[in-house]
């Protein structure tokens, strides 16, 4: 079971309605594995269920694209600080729950620097993160582009012209020097034994498959 790929399962309403928690209760009762993607450390509220589910398998990926708390407060004003997200990963890792970082999107001219990439990898190692799932770029489509450019005008007024000149009407927009940044990420993650892809979960069967010639 997986949740969080299209919308965060730990929105503000989750504090009151407990919908995600109830889903986890059902998952736990039926001995299913689970993977959760979020950027909200409210997930720590459900540690009791995650520990129980982890007897089968539980993994959590938290989105982090910068280690700078001030910057994260600008680009993700409704999310916890990067520091708090790293601490949540540390708590989960200590409990034996598989932890990952989804490092996407990486915002052009704001986060696409070697220093930022290295800082994320270093902190990931410190807090016991097993995987980093990166996309060194972003998508810009129609009204999404309009909204993003409006935010740029409010917070980074010098950057809109750079975006328009660099990407025009492109949908997939790769980071500057993407090949170089990929190499930096690969080298740093290898140094700390952090995988750049999540390993597939394979359920271990408790029974042995019968051979066609076996007697029943």
d(CA 27, CA 21): 10
Contact 81, 72 (CB under 8 A): yes
- State mean pLDDT over 88-98: 98
Domain covering 2-136+176-191 assigned CATH 3.80.30.30 in the classification: yes
Contact 20, 10 (CB under 8 A): yes
- State mean pLDDT over 24-32: 97
Q: What is the predicted pLDDT for the residue at 142?
A: 85
- State mean pLDDT over 130-159: 95
Q: Which residues contact 153 (CB under 8 A, 6 or more apart)?
A: 160
Q: What is the predicted pLDDT for the residue at 198?
A: 84
Q: What is the predicted pLDDT for the residue at 81?
A: 98
- Whether residue 213 is predicted with pLDDT greater than 80 in this model: the reply is no
Q: Which residues pair with 35 in a beta bridge?
A: 2, 59
Q: For 39-74, what is each residue's pLDDT tens digit?
A: 999 999 999 999 999 999 999 999 999 999 999 999
Domain locations along the chain: 2-136+176-191, 138-174
- Whether residue 143 is predicted with pLDDT greater than 70 in this model: the reply is yes
- Whether residue 207 is predicted with pLDDT greater than 60 in this model: the reply is no
Q: Which residues contact 180 (CB under 8 A, 6 or more apart)?
A: 114
- State mean pLDDT over 193-199: 91
Tokens of 66: 């910068």
Q: What is the predicted pLDDT for the residue at 145?
A: 95
Q: What is the predicted pLDDT for the residue at 57?
A: 96
Q: What is the predicted pLDDT for the residue at 36?
A: 98
Contact 58, 50 (CB under 8 A): yes
What percentage of the chain has pLDDT greater than the value 90? 87
């Amino acid at each position: 079971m997986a949740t969080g790929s299209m919308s965060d399962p730990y929105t503000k309403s989750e504090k009151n309605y407990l919908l995600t928690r109830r889903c986890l209760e059902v998952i736990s009762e039926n001995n299913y594995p689970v993977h959760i993607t979020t950027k909200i450390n409210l997930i720590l509220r459900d540690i009791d269920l995650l520990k129980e589910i982890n007897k089968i398998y539980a993994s959590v990926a938290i989105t982090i694209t910068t280690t700078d708390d001030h910057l994260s407060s600008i680009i993700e004003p409704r999310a916890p600080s990067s520091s708090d997200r790293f601490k949540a990963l540390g708590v989960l890792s200590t409990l034996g729950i598989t932890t990952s970082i989804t490092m996407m999107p990486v915002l052009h001219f704001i986060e696409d620097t070697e220093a930022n990439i290295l800082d994320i990898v270093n902190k990931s190692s410190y807090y016991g993160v097993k995987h980093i799932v990166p996309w060194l770029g972003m998508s810009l489509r129609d009204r999404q582009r309009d909204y993003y450019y409006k935010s740029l005008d409010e917070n980074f007024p010098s950057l809109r012209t750079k975006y328009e000149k660099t990407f025009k009407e492109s949908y997939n927009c790769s980071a500057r020097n993407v090949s170089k940044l990929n190499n930096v990420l690969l080298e740093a993650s290898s140094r700390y034994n952090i995988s750049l892809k999540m390993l597939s979960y394979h359920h271990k069967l408790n029974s042995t498959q019968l051979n066609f010639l076996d007697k029943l």
